[in-house]
């Protein structure tokens, strides 16, 4: 994903009605409360800081372009960032396939640390990433959203889950992650 | 009757309402088994969160004002449309270039129908990377090591800068296989070959290093570059893949 060009000057011709000050204030509040958390979630999900920053920024830009707040802005931001992330991943894998004829392609994540990379910190990071990557997307997202302090209601809305079963799903996801992490000790 | 998983989790996370919370608390106070499960869930959660923190990288600087300005900026849709057109054009080009692509025949037949077919050009001795139809694109992390596994009989690596965000490697078809993660890109090339590779490196990439058969041939570290002299004609660095250059 390309880095964004510097933001255009706001005094240029504005295609949207001028945002009301209350909307703008609420936008700033949402940014302050959620930007860092969403960035951490997307970065943990993707392992790509640039991609994470890009999709979270894009989610906020989309929110601003709406000109008014959705019913549950936190869940809306999460859903939009997740969708952008999925789209980017899909586009990228398609691009890799097109760039690389099938006989040449072999792309996978985190399985090739050379000896110089095998410090314990990096090794541990690699194991955490591998353990997360093995989980189904829903469990991964659930754990990461909860780790950032999102409430059951917000998580249920963002991931389209039944709110009454979020606790059970969280317990299962955490168990699955721990088993997956233990499994990385013996991975090649 | 013991608390189920849902209620243990909700108790742990403060997600039970007044009466349900009091009732669960009361149960836990008198039930050793549920007390143990609650403590275990709490401990496991703390360990899990601690592991997640190992994945963190510092967030880039931005502000609500900057994103609001982007939201207000005109032409966003047009820029996206132009980008989509460019991508579509690129995909069509890539599809055309793929070996065995039906697009080639289709384009040739259309060209023949128009009556503008050109005579075939002389066979190329060495396929230049500009006409390559193999390659890989990788977004580099804080550092990226690009490894050519073998020296070749001949051939070059042509290295140029890009304003994009991805390291892009192009090669003649069949010249190599690629394996990649965020820190390392392995180009498994053939010792007897004479292929020339092209690599575009983002100017913004913090650190990119290229090795050929274990020897470093190129390093970009911030603004510092260690490389053979820049070829003024092409504006690219040329690194030989043969032991002493072709």
Buried/exposed code over B74-92 (b: 16+ C-beta within 10 A; e: otherwise): eebeeeeeeeeeeeeeeee
Which CATH fold topology does A120-188 show?
A: Arc Repressor Mutant, subunit A (1.10.10)
From residue A142, alpha-carbon distances to A163, B52, B58, B134 in Å are 12, 13, 22, 38
Task: For residue B211, give the H/E element and its range.
Answer: strand B207-212
Q: What does the domain layout of chain A look like in residue ranges?
A: 20-100, 120-188
Of B130, B127, B153, B138, the residue nearest B210 (C-alpha): B138
Residue-by-residue pLDDT tens, chain A, 188 positions = 333 333 333 333 333 445 567 889 999 999 999 999 999 999 999 988 888 999 999 999 999 998 889 989 999 999 999 999 988 887 766 655 555 544 333 344 444 444 554 467 778 888 999 999 999 999 999 999 999 999 999 999 999 999 999 999 999 999 999 999 988 775 54
Here the ipTM equals 0.77
Rg of chain B over all Cα atoms, to the nearest angstrom: 29
| pLDDT score at B52 | 95
How far, rounded to the nearest angstrom, does the alpha carbon of residue B225 sit from its chain's CA centroid?
22
Which CATH fold topology does A20-100 show?
A: Rna Polymerase Sigma Factor; Chain: A (1.10.1740)
Sign of the Cα torsion B168, A86, A50, A135 reads negative
Q: Can you list the pairs that B115-120 forms with residues at least 24 positions away whose Cβ atoms lie under 8 Å? A: none
- Specify the higher pLDDT residue, A39 or B193: A39
Distance from CA of B158 to the nearest CA of A (A): 18
**How does strand B184-189 pair with strand B224-226?**
unpaired
Of A52, A29, A34, A55, the residue nearest A149 (C-alpha): A34
Q: What does the domain layout of chain B look like in residue ranges?
A: 5-53, 79-117, 129-240
Chain A CB contacts of B8 under 8 Å are: 167, 171
Selected residue of A35, A53, A98 to mutate for chain B interface (largest B Cβ count, 10 A): A98
| B177:A129 CB<8 A | no
The model carries a pTM of 0.54
Query: Chain B: residue nearest A52 by CA?
Result: B59
Burial grade of B10 (CB within 10 A; 0-12, 13-18, 19 or more): buried
């Amino acid at each position: 994903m390309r880095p964004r060009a510097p933001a255009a000057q706001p005094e240029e011709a504005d295609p949207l009605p001028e945002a009301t000050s209350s909307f703008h204030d609420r936008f700033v509040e949402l940014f302050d409360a959620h930007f860092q958390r969403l960035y951490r979630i997307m970065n943990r999900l993707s392992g790509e800081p640039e991609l994470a920053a890009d999709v979270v920024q894009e989610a906020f830009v989309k929110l601003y372009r709406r000109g008014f707040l959705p019913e549950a802005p936190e869940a809306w931001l999460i859903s939009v960032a997740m969708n952008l992330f999925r789209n980017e991943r899909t586009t990228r894998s398609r691009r890799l396939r097109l760039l690389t004829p099938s006989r040449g392609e072999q792309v996978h994540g985190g399985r090739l640390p050379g000896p110089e990379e095998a410090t314990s910190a990096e090794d541990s990071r690699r194991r955490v990433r591998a353990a997360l990557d093995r989980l189904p997307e829903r469990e991964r997202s659930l754990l990461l959203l909860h780790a950032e302090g999102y409430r059951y209601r917000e998580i249920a809305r963002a991931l389209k889950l039944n709110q009454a079963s979020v606790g059970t799903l969280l317990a299962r996801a955490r168990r699955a992650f721990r088993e997956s992490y233990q499994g990385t000790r013996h991975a090649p | 009757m013991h608390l189920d998983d849902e209620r243990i989790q909700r108790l742990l996370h403060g997600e039970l309402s007044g009466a349900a919370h009091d009732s669960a608390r009361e149960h836990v106070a008198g039930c050793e088994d549920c007390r143990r499960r609650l403590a275990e869930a709490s401990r496991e959660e703390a360990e899990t969160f601690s592991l997640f923190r190992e994945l963190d990288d510092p967030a880039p600087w931005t502000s609500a004002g900057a994103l609001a300005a982007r939201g207000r900026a005109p032409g966003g849709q047009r820029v996206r449309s132009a980008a989509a057109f460019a991508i579509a054009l690129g995909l069509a080009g890539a599809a055309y270039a793929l070996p065995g692509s039906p697009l080639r025949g289709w384009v040739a037949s259309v060209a023949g129908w128009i009556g503008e077919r050109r005579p075939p050009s002389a066979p190329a001795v060495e396929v230049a990377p500009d006409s390559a139809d193999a390659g890989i694109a990788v977004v580099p992390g804080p550092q990226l090591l690009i490894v050519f596994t073998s020296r070749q009989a001949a051939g070059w690596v042509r290295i140029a800068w890009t304003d994009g965000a991805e390291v892009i490697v192009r090669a003649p078809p069949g010249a190599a296989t690629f394996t990649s993660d965020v820190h390392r890109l392995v180009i498994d090339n053939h010792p007897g070959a004479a292929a020339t590779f092209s690599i575009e490196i983002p100017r913004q990439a913090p650190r990119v290093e290229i090795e050929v058969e274990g020897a470093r041939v190129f390093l970009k570290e911030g603004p510092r570059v260690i490389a053979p002299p820049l070829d003024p004609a092409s504006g690219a660095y040329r690194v030989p893949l043969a032991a002493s250059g072709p």
